Amino acid sequence: MSFTKEDVEQLSAALREPRWVLERRLDAWKIVEDSELPHGKIEAWRYTDFRRLKFSLDPFRLAAPQETTEITEVQETLVKEEGERGGYVVQRDADVVHQELSPDLAAQGVILMSLDKAVVEHEEIVQEHLFTQTKPDDHLFAALHCSLFSGGTFLYVPKGVSVSVPIESQRWIDEGGTGIFPHSLIVVEEGAELTYFERFQSIPIPNDSISNGAVEVVAGPRSHVGFVALQEYGGRVWNFQRIDMSAARDAVIRSLIVTLGGRFSRQEVRTAMRGEGVDCEMLGLYFAEKGQHFDFRTFQDHIGPRCRSDLLYKGALKDDSRTVYSGMIRVEPHAEGTDAYQTNRNLVLSDHAKADSKPELEILNNDVKCSHGASVGQMNEEEIFYLMTRGIERPQAERLIVNGFFEEVVGRVRQDEIRQVLSDAIEHKLTGRWHSAGEEGA
């Protein structure tokens, strides 16, 4: 592995961090030194064989913060052309190069900035919450992230403040052969409302890069939090992402994870319903092709009583791609009155594609209502034939069916402007404008 303890120490020094941050980094690095690359004998990684994928951490170097950076024309255009936003953070490789926040939101006490700056300027809040949800001892990639995080987003919404338009963070990989480790810390106080949108992209790069990111969402009592992630990396990016959400009493928390890009993508999404009466919705949408390997792991953790969770992940795959879904509903001993659902549906469009699905339950309380289900099926030829008899060519007929398959998820997005961005991204993938892993510029 090319990353070293010296990388950790030099990164912390370059960012002029308080001592406690370096100590947390070094604690995580000790776990890195004692960890190995996950393998199939570990249940959580059972269907992902890094040897078959020919993955190694050796080729990557740390994308170090630069003293002078600027937003590119492509990134600036994307910011201007998207719908209304309450604020933006744009990160290029290891650096946040652009940030802005609506003056009205700033006047109400909302804080939006890079996590690097927040560690210094809002140290008390960051110290209280950083790595309370994302733990470095889960596996090697979690420990690496906690050791080497940089850039990222800090977003704080005070008690009772309603953010009516989404706030967006964009992550860009501009340089091949590097590793980036963005971390988002989102703190939403009691009775506040927020929709946060995180988007991942890369410019054409000549060789592989790795993105190892994490998000921590802290939802206070009676808060309403929406979280949307759209991953559109090119085919030379190995993507690892951990999303940890914690919900207090009577909070409403909704997440949507959309995965379209990357050579490989492993995304772990966990919602801990700690207080009573939490309402949680977890949605996922993915489309794999041209050798892509997507691996999803979800965790609905019912800790408090009388909480509800509803999970729906839907994916389509074609060519020789591979997808994996494994999900766990866990009901803790004191979580009486739990109401939990978990569904994974997969649409296979090729004889060479393969989808694995493994939903699970772990129930430690008798007063619960839980169900789970999974399916893997092929496209209905009768539906295709019907559309073709109406003068629609087969490729377009297949796109219509896939769009209809995804609509159950996309239709649940409450913000029109984000729903349009997602629909455009899906159309981009369906029409073949995403580059494969073997193409320069992927």
- 396-413: per-residue pLDDT in tens? 888 899 989 999 999 898
- 436 DSSP assignment: P
- End-to-end CA distance of the chain: give it in Å, rounded: 24
What's at 424, amino acid-wise?
D
Identify the CA nearest to 38 among candidates 143, 133, 179, 131. Answer: 143
Q: How many CB atoms lie within 10 A of CB 393?
A: 10
pLDDT digits (tens, 9 = 90+) for 343-385: 999 999 999 999 999 999 999 999 999 999 999 999 888 888 8
- Point out which residues pair with 213 in neighbouring strands: 241
pLDDT digits (tens, 9 = 90+) for 267-320: 999 999 999 999 999 999 999 999 999 999 999 999 999 999 999 999 999 999
Determine what percent of the chain falls in helix, strand and coil, rounding each to the nearest 5: 25, 40, 35
**Average pLDDT of 33-43?**
90
Please check whether residue 423 is in contact with residue 415, taking contact to mean a CB–CB distance below 8 angstroms: no
At 228, phi and psi to the nearest 5?
-130, 130
Poorest-pLDDT segment among 76-85, 87-96, 162-171: 76-85
Instruction: Give just the sign of the alpha carbon dihedral 171, 98, 184, 226.
Output: negative
Token pair recorded at residue 352: 């060479």
Taking CA atoms, 271 is separated from 27, 310, 329, 387, in Å, by 25, 11, 10, 40
Largest CA distance in the chain: 69
Identify the CA nearest to 218 among candidates 144, 272, 160. Answer: 272
List the beta strands (DSSP E) in 203-320.
209-219, 224-231, 237-247, 252-259, 264-273, 279-288, 293-302, 308-317
pLDDT digits (tens, 9 = 90+) for 90-116: 999 999 999 999 999 999 999 999 999
Q: Hey, what's the torsion of the CAs at 43, 49, 51, 52, to 10 degrees?
A: 160
What's at 101, amino acid-wise?
L
C-alpha angle with apex 410: 409 to 415, nearest 5 degrees? 130
Q: How many CB atoms lie within 10 A of CB 348?
A: 19
The pTM of the full predicted model, rounded to 2 decimals, is: 0.94
